[in-house]
Amino acid sequence: MSYLISNIPQFKCWVRKEFTANHQKYHGEYLHALAFAVNTIPDRSLSFQVVFTGCETDLEGHPDENIHGGAMWARMPIQALVADEILDNYPPRIPNHFVQPWDCSSRDFSIIKYDRTSSSPWITKIDGEFYNAKYYFTIDYTNGDDLNALGDDVAQHKQSHILAITSGEFKGQIVAQPNNRVRVTNPALWVTGTGAPDFIPSQYEFSAEEDESYMNPEYTFDNLYAKKKETK
């Protein structure tokens, strides 16, 4: 379990350069980087620890001098990140609430890369349109010691699936999507459905020990080797 910051399955990316200059200049320019850690701060979008590689100097039209390689940036917002994939053009900026529809719900979280679905193409819905996507990893939140966090609230819990969009006008943008904005494909194991699933989020918590039967020790400890009570 991590608090505030954690290592992640690292990925190469391009960083919108205006994010390194307080959005005052460098719009439309990019720096190459490696994202290797993530921060979760409640009521904010995800942010990443990145180290710049200087690889942009290898591109035609860029200056030969490498001044960024090895420099690090903490808490780079997910909105700044574009996947290091073959792109005809860099994607336009997407509104914050499309990149990550729900802010982080806690500083306590876990990172997992699902084995079963990591190699399969994903589909994500953004602003009413469907896009293909590549799965990177998932962030799941819990309350920890923060009693005001929503990580374990059954009605509010959300995961953040980190994806790179691979089709359409936003191709390349890194996004963080919840379960109800994604669908996983795998023709060998299941048939991908069409239309919206008929789901209603559960408002209930389930626990064995809240049952009144636990007030009776004979019932509670009626285990495999318990002797049957003799009756007169």
Condensed to tens digits (0 to 9), the pLDDT of residues 28-69 reads 999 999 999 999 999 999 999 999 999 988 877 776 788 999
Q: Which of 145, 179, 135 is nearest to 159 (CA)?
A: 179
Residue 219 has pLDDT above 90, yes or no: no
Per-residue pLDDT tens over the stretch 58-89: 877 776 788 999 999 999 999 999 999 989 89
Mean pLDDT for the stretch of residues 148-152: 80
Work out the mean pLDDT of the chain and round it to a whole number. 92
Predicted local distance difference test score (pLDDT) of residue 201: 86
Percent of the chain whose pLDDT exceeds 90: 71
Q: Show the tokens assigned to 31.
A: 């720096």
Mean pLDDT for the stretch of residues 168-187: 96
Predicted local distance difference test score (pLDDT) of residue 230: 63
Predicted local distance difference test score (pLDDT) of residue 223: 81
Q: What confidence tier does 150 reach under pLDDT thresholds 50, 70, 90?
A: confident
Q: What confidence tier does 190 reach under pLDDT thresholds 50, 70, 90?
A: very high
**CA dist., res. 133 & res. 117, Å (int):** 12
Per-residue pLDDT tens over the stretch 114-147: 999 999 999 999 999 999 999 999 999 998 777 7
Predicted local distance difference test score (pLDDT) of residue 154: 85
Predicted local distance difference test score (pLDDT) of residue 65: 85
Q: Lowest-confidence range among 99-103, 136-140, 152-156? A: 152-156
Q: Which of 177, 181, 173, 178 is nearest to 79 (CA)?
A: 173
Predicted local distance difference test score (pLDDT) of residue 80: 98
